[in-house]
Structure 1
Amino acid sequence: MPKRDKAASPRASPPHTPPPGTDSEAEEADQAGASAAEMGTYKCCIFFTRRFALADTSTPEDVRALFSRYAGGSPYMLADDLRRYLAAWGGADGEVPEQIIDRILQDRSRTPRFGRPALTVDDFLHFLFSEDLNPPLRHSKVNQDMNAPLSHYFIYTGHNSYLTGNQLSSDCSDVPIIKALQIGVRVIELDIWPNSSKDDIDVLHGRTLTAPVSLIKCLRSIKEYAFVASPYPVIITLEDHLTPDLQAKVAKMVLEVFGDILYYPESKHLQEFPSPEALKGRVMLSTKPPKEYLEAKGGTMKEREIEAQFKKGEREEAAWGVEVPDIHEEMQVANRNDDDLLYRERGADGDDEKKTKHVAAEYKHLITIKAGKPKGPLVDALKNDPDKVGIAGVPLDSVMRKTKAVEDSWVPVWEEEFTFPLTVPEIAVLRVEVHEQDVSEDDFGGQTALPVAELRPGIRAVPLFDHKGLKFRSVKLLMCFEFA
């Protein structure tokens, strides 16, 4: 982004001191000094530290060629032309070309010429950039079978969900927890410690300068916002640093806050978890020993065995009730860190061997970044170098590629193609990151994660998200997906 130093503040010169001489000379000198003091002396320093080439902002050549192909060389694309385009490029069922054209013309405050609704090439580009009209995914809601055991699914997970910033000196608060739940996070992690007086429980990142927040405040916020974004279960993971007395106090808090929505397994020895469908509207509790306890054991024992010893004699079942088995061992969890990609609320199917018969044969290769062009605020659009594209999935499908850097461009266009052979496409996720090529600062610009099995072919508007999983309002990538 171009940086312009602010002009130096006006600085007045000191009043001129008259040299010894006549009274008239002194009077003239006083008047000159007063005039100088009144007018002041100004020094302006304006310069740029970087230069950006103002690229041609016209429609990309690929888009122009596509428009011309379906418009038959005409400068206008009629409803029938758009219908042929949608049929060829996998338009969603129920899309009505006439309604799409009306919506675009309304958005752009244009009236149809000669009484016939039609799109210009710029209108067509507007359509391609519309996330509502041209989304990259086939479904925006849950469409998978949600009746398999919970451990068969990827779960949208929060890490240190209570921190407002860094792990060393930021505040702990229920606000990040609320925001996480509002975007669909289903696993909330809380580190619980005795407060300063040792008679209550705080949530904080231990042995750091982070300011604590009370556990009861976090629990109440979780209950209030648990199901605003998704009806599927919320899992609270407690990293326990408490004495047995305070553990019993936590148990009482949990029971009082969540009441009937708290999930109790029917048996101590749960063979498998219920399904997400069966757990709708429920809160699950998972506990684990502190990291220092695990590290002290040298990693020679399984976490479940260590946790069993940690609990022995230290937890009161009468207070806690029957505990849910260790979710960390039973679940495949997609962790949410600053540098991790986020799984959307739709939820992807797991990799149960029984489901391999549902593998979609058509997903063999994925070609991405046919045309890439952010659209939105300048400060976001400049963060474009380089662009990273890759697949997350089973080991054979996990790979990351990187485009060339686009030097100092207001409107970067990469025009690169990548091919990804896939072995298990139904759980593969396309991962896209945008960075600024700057080794001196945080170069992260945006990210997204798209399930391959849900991708729509053709040129699509791909939204970007920040570190916290919040979607940029208007910044998008224009990407083309092809399957062979």
Structure 2
Amino acid sequence: MKGRMKKGKSPSSRRGEIQHLYQCYTSEQTILPVCALLKFLHKEQMELTANEEMAESLIDRYEIEETARESRSMTFEGFLRYMESKDCCVFDQAHTSVYQYMDQPLTNYFISSSHNTYLTGDQLVGRSHLDAYVCALRKGCRCLEIDCWDGPDMEPVVYHGYTLTTKILFKDVITTVEQHAFEVSAYPVILSLENHCSKEQQEVIAQYLISILGEKLLRTPLDHPTTGDIPSPNKKKVAKALSDLVVYTRSVKFISFSHSKDNQNYYENTSMAEKKARKLAKASGSDFVEHNQKFLSRIYPAGSRTSSSNYNPQEFWNVGSQLVALNFQSLGLPMDLNDGRFQDNGGCGYVRKPAVLMSSQKSFDPSCSQHRQKPTHLLLKVISGSNLPISRSGKGLDSFVRVEMHGIASDSRRKNTNTVKNNSLSPHWDADMNFSISVPELCLIRFCVREQTGLLSSEFVGQYTLPFTSLKKGYRWVPLRSRDGCSLDPATLFVFVWYS
């Protein structure tokens, strides 16, 4: 913390804390010259590539007082505008657009995937609705599930078979997909068809796919220079359906890793329920990682989750499974992690798997805790909050912040600040937290604000999740989101981040 934020200092708001920082760098002067701003960028924000030109561009962008701009300086108001801008967000703004290489085989990416995409509620009596597909696609989802059954008048329907969930027409689902597939991402959508239809209605399905999706449907294998390899996401098409139309992801039954190695084709994928996948991950994690270097694997929630609850997706990303499918309609921790993971790489729904999962030389087993000689040390100082929602009773929150690490089992930890009573406007925690992380490239960090409701009970207020690899050092603000992933703006946390 470079000794700047003194313990016991409780400015009334984040503004006060920023004023304190500003004064540390103006020293005797009343205004911040460009050289002092540059020093702040290097020393506190760890913007090591910053030069005078960059500091001047910040003055141009955030300083509105003419005389200060002309003298290449920043008033406190300009500095405050900069500190509250996206430039000081905890999430690396370079990661808000697609920055990863998109020309690797699909097996090298985590792909945002939805389970029972048609449902808006539980799996027994919930509603099936086209809006569920629109919502998933708008969240950057790139693998949709469509359960197809014979319907009246030769019109196939989509619903959760043998239950009381409502039915929607297959042709309406495909029309919806066609309209919204590429609204937020230009990269391929995989349609996972669970086919329960008669031969006659299967032909109807194939015709709808061809006539409605038209040019967007991938119907023949792409010319791919590395034959014997699944294509990359850069081949921009919607994909998959029925015998001739199933080009790249024909589903096959999983027997064993050695059976797959000897018999499985590169264009075949395996789909398995969470319990089986969990057992395999625990018993032979490194074999699972190796399997996922060659083949796509899709994991889906257990059938016993009738309320459409979700498992923690992190445990399957840890073994390199690409299609870790969740019930997008069910809010809570698993979907927060999914949103955090896929906020990366411009929210395009494809995120490169880290090198540790792709190495053919070194085998990686996420359940072994000793991974590298030198773990990463993370220091997080949770300084304060600003404009938090007021409690249901209408008074200020009794709030604390829980910081969670989600990675391999030995890296997964959580720590709480103390509780600040009756203050939603500007609670001040000033809490230091230290974490040791052995595989940071798999790690997600979740900031969760909670309201203390009893001695051992607390309630969710807001959260924000991001990959460790998108975490910016220095004094940063954390935007908070509601249970359903919507912005709680202007509610934020103010933190200091440092890691080595």
TM-score by length of 2: 0.65
CA RMSD of aligned residues (A): 4.1
Label 1:472 to 1:283 Cα distance change in 2 as closer, same or farther (>3 A): farther
What SS is found at the alignment partner of 1:151? helix
| Alignment counterpart, residue 256 of structure 1, candidates 211, 228, 249 | 211
Looking at structure 2, the residues matched to 233 and 154 of structure 1 have their Cα atoms a distance apart, in angstroms, of 13
The residue type paired with residue 358 of structure 2 is D
- Are 2:288 and 1:273 equivalent residues in the alignment? no
- Are 2:147 and 1:141 equivalent residues in the alignment? no
Label 1:169 to 1:397 Cα distance change in 2 as closer, same or farther (>3 A): same
Partner of 1:25: none
| Alignment counterpart, residue 349 of structure 1, candidates 353, 358, 373 | 353
| Alignment counterpart, residue 173 of structure 2, candidates 199, 214, 218 | 218
Does structure 2 conserve the Cα–Cα contact (< 8 Å) formed by 1:149 and 1:272? yes
Over alpha carbons, which structure has the higher Rg? 1
- Are 2:128 and 1:172 equivalent residues in the alignment? yes
- What count of residue pairs does the alignment treat as equivalent? 392
| Alignment counterpart, residue 84 of structure 1, candidates 39, 44, 54 | 39
Looking at structure 2, the residues matched to 93 and 216 of structure 1 have their Cα atoms a distance apart, in angstroms, of 54
Cα offset, 1:483, TM superposition: 0.9
- Are 2:373 and 1:373 equivalent residues in the alignment? no
Cα offset, 1:100, TM superposition: 2.3
What SS is found at the alignment partner of 1:96? helix
Looking at structure 2, the residues matched to 327 and 275 of structure 1 have their Cα atoms a distance apart, in angstroms, of 19
Partner of 1:316: none
- Are 2:58 and 1:100 equivalent residues in the alignment? yes
Partner of 2:474: 458
State how 1:282-321 maps to structure 2 within 5 Å.
282-285=237-240, 303-304=253-254
Partner of 1:477: 493
Label 1:122 to 1:224 Cα distance change in 2 as closer, same or farther (>3 A): same
Runs of 4 or more consecutive aligned structure 1 residues displaced over 6 Å after TM superposition: 359-363, 379-384, 439-442
What SS is found at the alignment partner of 2:232? coil
More strand by share: 2
Q: Deviations over 1:441-462 (max 9, x none)?
A: 9943333332222322111222
Looking at structure 2, the residues matched to 376 and 57 of structure 1 have their Cα atoms a distance apart, in angstroms, of 14
Does structure 1 conserve the Cα–Cα contact (< 8 Å) formed by 2:397 and 2:422? no
Partner of 1:400: 414
The residue type paired with residue 450 of structure 2 is H
TM-score by length of 1: 0.67
| Alignment counterpart, residue 443 of structure 2, candidates 424, 428, 438 | 428
Label 1:393 to 1:407 Cα distance change in 2 as closer, same or farther (>3 A): same
- Are 2:118 and 1:162 equivalent residues in the alignment? yes
Which segment drifts farther, 455-464 or 430-439? 430-439
Label 1:87 to 1:56 Cα distance change in 2 as closer, same or farther (>3 A): closer
What SS is found at the alignment partner of 2:13? coil
Partner of 1:66: 21
Partner of 1:409: 423
The residue type paired with residue 433 of structure 2 is F
Looking at structure 1, the residues matched to 220 and 409 of structure 2 have their Cα atoms a distance apart, in angstroms, of 34
What SS is found at the alignment partner of 1:417? strand
Q: Which runs of 5+ in 2 are unaligned?
A: 1-9, 243-251, 257-264, 273-295, 298-320, 346-350, 364-370
- Are 2:390 and 1:390 equivalent residues in the alignment? no
| Alignment counterpart, residue 449 of structure 1, candidates 440, 458, 465 | 465
Q: Percent identity?
A: 24
Partner of 2:268: 325
Looking at structure 2, the residues matched to 142 and 154 of structure 1 have their Cα atoms a distance apart, in angstroms, of 14
Q: Deviations over 1:171-209 (max 9, x none)?
A: 4322232233233222222333444x3742333345555
The residue type paired with residue 408 of structure 1 is N
Q: Which runs of 5+ in 1 are unaligned?
A: 1-54, 288-301, 307-321
What SS is found at the alignment partner of 1:69? helix
Does structure 1 conserve the Cα–Cα contact (< 8 Å) formed by 2:137 and 2:180? yes
